[in-house]
Structure 1
Amino acid sequence: MKLHSLLYTVSAMLLSSAAIAQHTTVSGFVFEDKNNNGTKESTEKGLANVAVSNGKDVVLTDAKGQYTLNIANDNIIFVIKPTGYKVPLDEYNLPKSYALHKPQGTPAHFKFKGAQQSIDAQRSLDFGLVAQKEANDFAVYVFGDPQPYTMEEIQYFDKAIIQEAKSNNRIAFGISMGDLVGDNLDLHTPYKEVIKKMDMPWYNVMGNHDMNYDAASDSLSDETFEKNFGPANYAFNYGNAHFIVLDDILYPDPRDGKGYWGGFRPDQLAFIKNDLQHVSKDKLIVLNFHIPLLITGEDEFIHQDRQALFDLLEGYENVLAISAHTHLQRHNFYSIADGWRNRKPLHEYNVGTTSGDWYSGRINEQGVPASTMRDGTPKGYAVMQVKNNTYTLDYKVAGAPQDYQINIYAPKVLAKDKRTSASIFANFFMGTATDKVYCRIDNGDWKPMKYVVDVDPSFQAINMQYDQSPVLLDGRRPSMPEASTHLWMVNIPTKLIAGEHTIEVKATDMFGKTYTQKSTYKIVE
């Protein structure tokens, strides 16, 4: 009995020691870094009411700028950037306002490694911020899925997107919406080297092709992402907007242990809840995640998790969600019927991708694959303009003028006065089902076009070039087309005089911006 008691006491002590090692607290200061050297000097004051998080809990600094947070064996402590301050940037212009606590490191069998470093809980963990002017009117770059699988595709991304978009002094910062690379996580560093050329602060979202596929649990699927980019779930403020970045990919899929499923872990939902407790309801909330919230028959996103997110945002009337992943472009709207609990529907912008249709198609004049997406949207990137707590969105086709927002497809030549099954199709890249699109011929009367959800014939024609060509074409054959959610059509007139005729299409987007595009066709006897 005595030996048993002794063994029980020793076991209890060991368990207690393990618990202490796995779960303790860290404290420090958030301060105004006047000399920008990253070290808190005695003359530098602490900043009160700044949010700091461990990825689940969110606390505010006290009057002296001090905070205390719990840490466990897999934590990242980070500051939620307040408006009017900037955080330190690393050599790639990525925010460096966090500290990793991963004393056990990555599991040994992982192909791509994470970090092994620890926070010294006995020392003050301080974060310096530098004051900066931030207008409530600012612009943000939004990049969908760069997703290079090779160094050659890294160069395509650089040449087609970065060289065009870089160093725009109208842009406050940029964000990439996941799938930063295509499964080869060693390409994270080359991706960062290219993003560095943008010469502005850059934020990153985790995508399903940025994961550690060796992970047996979702909490470990972001090990390499965290090493290369920091937390996969975080937030920051700019102007009167609050940005929340989330990893919404559950891997392995909890249903069968294979693949992935869109959703959130309980600790992620707790982070959102705790973060929003410190966010005024008059702010613009911008949600950023990779997989869209749209639930279809294939069940891409967990119903309960989407509803939990909607519940947490009740009372926030100014919310925009941005996603990527699909390599299509569309706008999704969620109302009370979908479980959204606010008067104004939730707008989710599923942004087109910088890689387009995975770098497929003919090599264009830029020396890169044209890579038009399966819904007929050309590859490109978006610009979000924020004014106080409102926003507008613009899509920029890579390598094209800013006003190129509509692609017209029509026959090249038709017989005079002959009936035809041919039509004029207009793909309005930023269009929604409620937008009005009109067409006219030769400066005649404007006629409304009919909204259709169908395959864009212009994209179908690209595939047919590959199928019908008697010689091997350059570039990879594009993917099979998918129905476009921004397509309109109208019958094409043939009762016209012989000769060339002008087609003009006019469309107005949800923000009141009007665009026009022209094309021509011939009538012959």
Structure 2
Amino acid sequence: MKVYIRFSTLVTAMLLFWVSLALAQNTATGIVYHDANGNGKLDSSEQRLEDVAVSNGEDVVLTDKQGRYKLSTGDDTIIFVIKPDGYKLPVDDKQRPEFYYIHKPEGSPDLKYSGVSPTGPLPNSVNFGLIEGDKTNNFEMLVFGDPQPYSMEELDYFDRDIVDELADVEGYEFGITLGDIVGNDLDLFEPYSKSVARIGLPWFNVYGNHDMNFDVEHDSLADETFEATFGPPTYAFNKGDVHFIMLDDVVYPRKDGESGYIGGLTDKQLTFIENDLKHVPSDHLIVLALHIPITLPRWREGDKYFRMEDRQKLFDLLSDYPHTLSLSAHTHVQRLQFLDEEQGWKGENPHLHYNVGTTNGDWWSGEPGEDGIPPTIMRDGTPNGYASIQFEGNDFKLNYKVAGVDEEKKMNIWGPKVVPQREWFNADMYVNYFLGSDSTTVEYRVQGKEKWRQMNKVELGDPYITSLRNKWDKSEELIEGKRPNNAVASTHLWKTRVPKDLPEGKHTITIRVTDMFGRQFFDEYSYRVEDR
């Protein structure tokens, strides 16, 4: 018996076949599972994990009862798992978390610094294995701002000044570097990673404006080397009652006719955040980690610095979350700023933005010490160092550790060494509490007296920083090292007149700082009163 098939039916069937094949090639499927034996492979006995979020950088889906997910892909897509609480991510030999799959069939374009090699067609299954971890709401993490080495010499400063004191540290869950991982030389990504690996913690990295491929014409290609080294520049993960969203907020090249880069977010990123937050309880703490601050220091106001319309869209997405914190670096100063309705924040409580001081301080400036490392104090008077954050449920406390000194170092005090007794002499004493804000109280008390007196918060250049810079300007010979940058208005500076109506001799003033978390810190300042 002969079977006749109409030509139109055959064509339709062939079209459906090719369409389904094309869809299959543009759809990533896979399984999220508990990698119980840590071999990086899905074994038949291993548990498949339900309700785990997976994303393509825009859409966010949850795995089904079999741990399966399905996501659309293009020719430049990174598929990644959003780690749930109670699990850890596998890491490579440099402690970089492995939670993503890059799909670039043709690889990155030909650039000065190499990007992603061609990946070819999608695998049949893109699986993500998670390692079982402690489920706790109380934990602590480390935060680095701008290592930004421009050479192996500066990377050595970072390694000895910052990493040495943290090598094999205990008590922290993970660390984050808030961008400007290197200073334009992307070949330093690997030695930087080798250095940070000595800390012994999983380490997440944010993309910064000095981590870019500059030889591109479109923003989507500016992060090719970053992706090849660290993975997606925008992603998320959970720990306890905290949801972390890591954001690439560097737009390059600009689209407003100006040269260079600008802070901002793409529509794709905003869609990702919107879809991601659908799976995050509203009582969780949302922590945003980005490079360029979403708010400007006053001495930079008026700059075309961050696209305010993008910030407003971000704030709108966060409006249902009463517990939020954002972290940035970039400015090489340290600031705590509370954003409210005046800045477009719609939450009941102000949003805290912490612009973290940098590990390289004032770009490794200053006269090197005996160890060959420059003192590199930032323009606002903050010494170089790093931050840590303690989380308790959806609450947190911020800390800042000055590199290379005792943990107790929280402030600098500057004033005259000697004052004339009862004469006209309007000398001031300044206290620079490095983690200060409008919610900080600074008081002083002269030794032997009971009364605490409040100091006045001012936004001025720290005179101690100016005195350090003067050494360079007044010297008749060249000084070794880089001349530091001039002082800028500090947001954590207090002053008062130095008491001089005291008996002759040495006097000691005790400083008491009460910070926004209710903690108190003390330090002392001594000077002499003399009669002419």
Shared fold, TM over 0.5: yes
Q: How does 1:70-469 map to 2 (within 5 A)?
A: 70-108=72-110, 110-118=111-119, 120-121=121-122, 123-256=124-257, 258-295=259-296, 296-444=301-449, 445-469=451-475
Structure 1 match to 2:41: 39
Summarize the Cα distance change of 1:158–1:192 in structure 2 as closer, same or farther, 3 Å threshold. Answer: same
Counterpart Cα distance in 1 of 2:25 and 2:497: 69
Does the aligned pair in 2 maintain the 1:249–1:261 contact within 8 Å?
A: yes
SS of aligned partner of 1:228: helix
Query: 1:60 pairs with 59, 62, 80, which one?
Result: 62
Structure 2 match to 1:3: none
Q: Percent identity?
A: 45
Summarize the Cα distance change of 1:216–1:377 in structure 2 as closer, same or farther, 3 Å threshold. Answer: same
Counterpart Cα distance in 1 of 2:25 and 2:409: 55
Counterpart Cα distance in 2 of 1:22 and 1:493: 79
Counterpart Cα distance in 2 of 1:37 and 1:443: 66
Does the aligned pair in 2 maintain the 1:244–1:286 contact within 8 Å?
A: yes
Counterpart Cα distance in 2 of 1:370 and 1:234: 35
TM-superposed CA distance for 1:417, in Å, is 1.7
Does the aligned pair in 1 maintain the 2:250–2:264 contact within 8 Å?
A: yes
Superimposed CA distance per residue, residues 291-344 of structure 1 (whole angstroms, 9 cap, x where no aligned partner): 111153213111110000001111101111001000000011111222111101
Q: What amino acid does structure 2 have at the position aligned with 1:143?
A: F
What is the number of equivalent residue pairs in this alignment? Answer: 510
TM-superposed CA distance for 1:433, in Å, is 2.0
Counterpart Cα distance in 1 of 2:170 and 2:302: 43
Counterpart Cα distance in 2 of 1:204 and 1:316: 25
Does the aligned pair in 1 maintain the 2:25–2:122 contact within 8 Å?
A: no
Counterpart Cα distance in 2 of 1:365 and 1:494: 37
Does the aligned pair in 2 maintain the 1:99–1:119 contact within 8 Å?
A: no
Unmatched tracts of structure 2, length 5 or more: 1-10
SS of aligned partner of 1:403: coil
Counterpart Cα distance in 2 of 1:233 and 1:299: 23
Structure 2 match to 1:473: 479
Superimposed CA distance per residue, residues 62-112 of structure 1 (whole angstroms, 9 cap, x where no aligned partner): 00000001110111111111111111101100101111111222222x211
TM-superposed CA distance for 1:21, in Å, is 9.0
Q: What amino acid does structure 1 have at the position aligned with 2:68?
A: Q
SS of aligned partner of 1:385: strand
Superimposed CA distance per residue, residues 99-142 of structure 1 (whole angstroms, 9 cap, x where no aligned partner): 1111222222x211210232643511111111111321000000
TM-superposed CA distance for 1:276, in Å, is 0.5
SS of aligned partner of 2:491: strand
Q: What amino acid does structure 1 have at the position aligned with 2:136?
A: A
Does the aligned pair in 1 maintain the 2:54–2:61 contact within 8 Å?
A: yes
TM-superposed CA distance for 1:384, in Å, is 0.2
TM-superposed CA distance for 1:420, in Å, is 1.3
> Is residue 499 from structure 1 mapped to residue 505 from structure 2 by the alignment?
yes
Q: What amino acid does structure 1 have at the position aligned with 2:96?
A: L
Structure-1-length-normalised TM-score: 0.94
Deviates more, 1:179-188 or 1:248-257: 248-257
Does the aligned pair in 2 maintain the 1:23–1:73 contact within 8 Å?
A: no
TM-superposed CA distance for 1:180, in Å, is 0.3
Does the aligned pair in 1 maintain the 2:103–2:122 contact within 8 Å?
A: no
TM-superposed CA distance for 1:442, in Å, is 2.1
Does the aligned pair in 2 maintain the 1:439–1:506 contact within 8 Å?
A: yes
Counterpart Cα distance in 1 of 2:461 and 2:191: 36
TM-superposed CA distance for 1:503, in Å, is 2.2
Q: What amino acid does structure 1 have at the position aligned with 2:313?
A: A
Deviates more, 1:358-367 or 1:249-258: 358-367
Q: What amino acid does structure 2 have at the position aligned with 1:297?
A: G
SS of aligned partner of 1:268: helix
